[in-house]
Structure 1
């Protein structure tokens, strides 16, 4: 009997040892091994060719593997967009990545039902829009995801009711379910943090919950059965009520007239009260510190010091008074908001995303402070991490970010001041400033510098679809030697999607206009347009239009000129220094048109684009006359001498 008990005990211990060894094996898998497991269930995964266990996914905060986001040597995010990925998503492998907080698989070809995302309990952001997921999502799918803040499932084929568990997520801030086939009524979303929701273009019906009554009506467009809230009132149920008497009707009409008159009187009084403040605001207000001929709205920065949003009024607390800037570089002297307020200030400009100030510190360098709006959908942790990534960039053609400040309603980004103006001013404003326009050698130098800086952004920010995202002449600053420096780069992940699609250059590309998405070649298109602007001196007027780009863009205009008959009218008449350079200028123009190719498959990638640009020389080598043979016949080409005369005599930009 004792022997049997001993054998049983040994057998039990052996079983326990096997089970523990299996558990230990699973839990001890490295991040690299787990990601390889995840990759193994994906189809068409050639874009992940550098995922190899020989190299760790992360090296500190730097990513060794494409699409991996790193923080202190750990994988905190996956951004695998626009890669044509298919197959199944191995949630079991991802659930063992302890630091994983964000996943983006947007713009791929995944099909089938939604994965069991609630196994990723610590996830904060889930982006699965623009795929082919389908079927109903069970009501309890999102239960237990207490940390999730952003869920994007737009442009799929989901059907059935909106999962009720979404309404129970306490930290939910963004919910994008548009362009699906959801039906039934909208759950009652009562989350205080939910500030961005889109349920448009589904089959929803019934009254909109009171909790969503203040949401923009565009978020419910394309659902014919919805009513209430920002839409038309829901119809009252029919009742058989007795008819009103004539006397009652007269009394009601009189009461309505009196009420309308009272409302009109209140409106008139309020407008009169607001007239004076509005006029003062249009003139810049009285709180302006004058420095020479320029001034800075000191009231805005003063409100920031007191913990208030300049656009929202008093929101801060007494504890917010000491505003601390987060510095990204060790090679600059530290300062705080108090130093900025004491600095002599000058307004450099006011654009779509905020105002820009030049601040000359009394005991430090001259800095540029830019206030950004439309970034309130990104949380503090994500914003800090993204700014740290941008702060590590170091290239002579990329303006470094010195410091930043996070506040929910707006952000401050501080950079060094460059003692020159933007490329846009040199191209389009020099006449009014009494300055000559850049000559051909200078323009070529600028183009090469911009392309090198853009290539560096591609190599340093591989997880971003459009590493710059907002490339235009006003975001290229020239230093004293006319060396270009890129600004406003890498902001796509932190700008609110709605404002980004309305204003940023990447969203004016042909691919977004045609297919509603941007790609790895979108910045290449922006570079092509910028080169055309530099060569022609014409501003891309379609950039001024909100939303999707216009058909009548700069590339289309240049194409129409060179396709019908080659003429020097296409070039900027103020561009000097063109003698014996016509062939090289023609080559560069052809390169720009190739970069603007509407079809993505035909457009060069950034590496080939930069290689071709680097081949351009300041002077002809005798081989440039046939470069435009694909556009004109040999008999239509002008001689080198004739082209030189055109550059001097023919009115251009006419």
Structure 2
């Protein structure tokens, strides 16, 4: 009995001593490195001989095995945050460094803090663009960067942080337009006192005006209504210009002479006007054909070409330059003045221009893309428009009209109310989200492939910028390709593909796009559909890795199941289909262009994959996870029968 009691006491002593001596050694060293490399006042006293869990501002987990919270508000920290210090606290949940004198940019290794829930960096002097390392922290619930010197645009990557309940960016120097931020669980939002401009997206219009105050260029939502996106025409050079005042006073004689001369000139002009009117009255009047003021309709064979020699050479009149050119077969009837009066909302802003949703007075809604940095002549621009205006396919968003002047180049196309694949796939992954099912992903993949194949074969056009935000959706979840064939307008002044994750390796070197580089970008798009990961997402793991290489590394380790989007795991009997589409995608992203298939071959491979799956009549609809493997596929959920032939 005594022996047993002694064993119990000994065990208890060992447990207590182990608990006391437990120490997060690596986290402790990271904190000591941070303190030693950062200037600070003497308010922080960390004794290296004691446990880090007992230091002021530090809190560990219950087992004292890692640092859980680091709170150092107002302790006199000065200068930049040293890299490879705080970024090593891999299990950190809360970080507060507010109200110090910290400056510089946020270290890139903050992306390692993948478990962080709250980040408070307000009231410092941080500068630089919105920290890209922060947008990869997908578990963040509270982010406060207010009262610093951050600048540049607020990135769309903010949507990666799907658990945000509070986002505070006020009192900085952010500029550009507000991205369409998913606000499902976002209770608090503030971007006041920056340099933002453009219209407030519909997703953010629910917040009060105080959240946007101090941005003189912002409009819409709770603020004043937006002016038309299209600027008023510049004053004509023929308009009178106010003369500069002379430093000398004119003499009385000079004033009288000027007055007499002006009166004589006025009389002569009046006499000449009377003579012209009498001469005109003697001539028989001729019937004139009415001409629309600001529009002209051009058949596809003539679209973009001028109807006279003056037009072709560019010596057109002012009226000709102000015409909105429609392609034949269009469904719209409006002119330039209607666009001037249209209300507009920014849909997206890229390196080649800004896209607007324009609502005209008769409730017609179109998308207007306002191009910038066009490097070609008017004739070359119109020739490219002629080619693009001919392209018609159910999976390609048609170009409806264009406008060209010295200061403005506009493209008009249909507005797709169901949004883009990017918004549907990555927009919000919080609670209440309706996942994108497998059948719909297959439908999007196949219809995108058909549209791109049509561009290549019938349109003889390279898209040049395939990405999820350029894949727009119809109500039936069929995809339509937008923003195609624009690269020739910019020469070599603009990178061919603005999102690095979609660019083929050869494009990075030559900056020239091709049919094969389009195939590579489409392969990345397939991987995006399969994995649910954006190609530019920083949370792929190793820094600098792209989506194709990430997939290759996972598959090489025989963790193929880890590749696929977790939202697809609830569907039954689709593993073989996913693997087949993965194989097609990996063929498309081959690093050697000649080893990639053509787009018609890709269409054939996806269609044949569908036939194998649907011919047996036993495969359960993948969009109905409630049924087991014995369930019969209902007719309304069955996959569309593949169309014969290649587009």
Name the TM tier (shorter chain): 0.3 to 0.5
TM-score, length basis structure 1:
0.46
TM-score, length basis structure 2:
0.46
Q: Quick check: which has more Rg, 1 or 2?
A: 2
